[in-house]
Structure 1
Amino acid sequence: MNDMDLLAERFESHRNHLRAVAYRMLGSLSEAEDAVQEAWFRLSRTDAGKVDNLPGWLTTVVGRICLDMLRSRESRREDPIGERLPDPIVSIGDSVDPEHEAMLSDSVGLALLVVLDALAPAERLAFVLHDMFSVPFEEIAPIVERSPATTRQLASRARRRVQDASVTPDPDVARQRAVVAAFLLAARDGDFAALVSVLDPDVVLRAEGGDVPFGTLRVVRGAAEVAGQALTYRSMAEHAVPVLVNGAAGMLGSIKGKPLVLSALSIRDGKIVEIDIIADPERLRRLGISAG
């Protein structure tokens, strides 16, 4: 085995960690893979013998690549990716695909990724690298071209946004699924009162695809308003099956084995607080989501 093969082997041992960093930074599975691959290209052109801490070096390199990608995304105002929901990781059954386990540690639900998408790129980098991966501010500061003190402030602002959004769901999947089952039953029966009873008064629904113009999200707020929207999915509820979306309870509506609507639900204290819907069969297909 030559030196390059040894280096490739060392890199592969860190790939899952790097994908987890990139997914939190970008909210896109394909872009996360691109960022990790670019990190390999940079490593292969570097004298690795001079790298004292390879895991730390790779983490900061991926962070820098992702920061550049986020800034490029912001500069292309016509690019609709900023108006899409983050890429979900969907599992059929009761367990997460081992390939995605590292990417979903720390309860990285879709609701959290939505909040991260609303942060400025430098804030997102500081928060993700420090709060999620324990990278010191002294190592993050050169990436964002700020002082360590200013970088600390960036992470603090981002942390407040995340805390204010209260995106930590009920950790018990069985309890989550009981709420989802009640929601589906009410939708199938067209029972408006029962729907309202499982929704938090301030529930937020975000939807893309279907009759929503490409590149935009429909946002509906309030239990009565969301229940009214849910009744429009009454026929789809007949064909919905339970799935895990980023490790939390969700549902996948399909017809004749073709996935049509994916719903991710955030549940706290027995109530649904957020619903994120992707009703774009083509996007579901590109993400490799199947009805099982």
Structure 2
Amino acid sequence: MDIAAVDRFEASRGRLASLAYRLLGSAADAEDAVQDTFLRWQAADRDQVEVPEAWLTKVVTNLCIDRLRSAQARHERTAGAWLPEPLLDGDPMLGPADTFEQRESVSLAVLTLLERLSPVERAAYVLREAFSYPHAEIAGILDISESASQQHVHRARRRVAAERRGGAEVDPASARRVVEEFLAAAMSGRTERLVALLTDDVTAVSDGAGLAKRLLRYTTRERVATYVRAGFKPTAAKRRLAGGSPAMHIALLNGSPAVVAVVEGRVVGAVAFDVTDGKVASLRGIAAADRLTRLNEAWQQHDHEAPVINAW
């Protein structure tokens, strides 16, 4: 492959990766899809490619759709049984963040909800909401009619809006204060303080540090508060599992405030929050090592604020 063709692909790599991440919810899978796209680009008759950016977008999108269909066929990503991979704010794979719709489309809450859509609905929604593609171009990418593209996006928007908890943009400083107060309440051992910080319809989901066969789910303020209190209670067994006594940091993951547990510079777990009207509407606990790889890499490459808890 000539240098000009490689350069042309590399100029699109970041956009392709952020598109693939939104479609797949996994940084590792997104990187694989982008690499597969590069191999297709290598093998293509590039003289016949009129608009390389459009060609590459179509290839990576359809590779992602194939991956989603294959995973669903193997029951690896059934709706409600899977959590997306969290990324540290500033990660280039998060892609465009100029508008509320773009920021919303890469939030952990929306990435989780997108699992409920068909692969084609998900692709149409992402192309439209995050990358502002016109329906005519979406139709060409997905090999569907323009009216079908409009229907897919409309249906996806309706389902996401119906199930999205909160959904309004929250001031980061206000959300951080809520999470700081929440962490203090969790560490205090006073469950009633936690209950007061939760919305009436709060939900909590955890991957059980990768040890559980399925996601752990909790509803009602009392059950969520009990789960959180138990989860944040330090024990010797938890320290052994984490490889030490974690420091607790507050950071932004996919635009949402989160508590990040770190042992000697290594992220061992994260809890991301949705905050609405000054209360926690939902939280997601992610501690499976294979879901923290890219977050770990990014964490070690950047400076961070001092931890709010030095040793847990």
The structure 1 residue matched to 2:95, chosen from 102, 106, 116, is 102
User: Structure 1 length as normaliser, TM-score?
Assistant: 0.86
Q: Is the 8 A contact 1:23 1:103 kept in 2?
A: no
Give the percent of matched residue pairs that are identical in Structure 1 and Structure 2.
Answer: 32
**Partner secondary structure for residue 89 of structure 1:** coil
**Partner secondary structure for residue 233 of structure 1:** helix
Matched with 1:188 is 187
Q: Which runs of 5+ in 1 are unaligned?
A: none
TM-superposed CA distance for 1:146, in Å, is 3.7
Instruction: State which drifts further: 79-88 or 105-114.
Output: 79-88
- Answering whether residue 119 of structure 2 is matched by residue 121 of structure 1, we say yes
Residues 165-193 of structure 1: CA distance to partner in whole angstroms, max 9, x if unpaired?
23535442211110000101111112222
Q: Which runs of 5+ in 2 are unaligned?
A: 235-244, 301-312
**Partner secondary structure for residue 90 of structure 1:** coil
The structure 1 residue matched to 2:135, chosen from 134, 137, 144, is 137
**Partner secondary structure for residue 62 of structure 2:** helix
- Partner Cα separation in structure 2 for residue 86 and residue 43 of structure 1: 28
Q: Is the 8 A contact 2:86 2:295 kept in 1?
A: no
**Partner secondary structure for residue 111 of structure 2:** helix
- Answering whether residue 248 of structure 2 is matched by residue 240 of structure 1, we say yes
The structure 2 residue matched to 1:23, chosen from 21, 26, 30, is 21
Q: Alpha carbons of 1:234 and 1:114: their partners in 2 closer, same or farther (altered >3 Å)?
A: same
- Partner Cα separation in structure 2 for residue 139 and residue 211 of structure 1: 40
TM-superposed CA distance for 1:145, in Å, is 4.8
TM-superposed CA distance for 1:211, in Å, is 8.0
- Partner Cα separation in structure 1 for residue 295 and residue 287 of structure 2: 15
Superposition map of 1:158-237 within 5 A: 158-166=156-164, 168=167, 170-210=169-209, 213-214=212-213, 216-236=214-234
Matched with 1:48 is 46
- Answering whether residue 17 of structure 2 is matched by residue 33 of structure 1, we say no
- Partner Cα separation in structure 2 for residue 58 and residue 80 of structure 1: 26
Q: Alpha carbons of 1:258 and 1:64: their partners in 2 closer, same or farther (altered >3 Å)?
A: closer
Q: Alpha carbons of 1:210 and 1:44: their partners in 2 closer, same or farther (altered >3 Å)?
A: closer
Paired residues in the alignment total 282
- Answering whether residue 290 of structure 2 is matched by residue 283 of structure 1, we say yes
TM-superposed CA distance for 1:150, in Å, is 2.4
- Answering whether residue 259 of structure 2 is matched by residue 251 of structure 1, we say yes
- Partner Cα separation in structure 1 for residue 265 and residue 130 of structure 2: 37
User: Structure 2 length as normaliser, TM-score?
Assistant: 0.81
- Partner Cα separation in structure 2 for residue 13 and residue 206 of structure 1: 38
Matched with 1:65 is 63
- Answering whether residue 268 of structure 2 is matched by residue 260 of structure 1, we say yes
Residues 99-139 of structure 1: CA distance to partner in whole angstroms, max 9, x if unpaired?
34526662111111001122111111111112322233334
Q: Alpha carbons of 1:261 and 1:29: their partners in 2 closer, same or farther (altered >3 Å)?
A: same
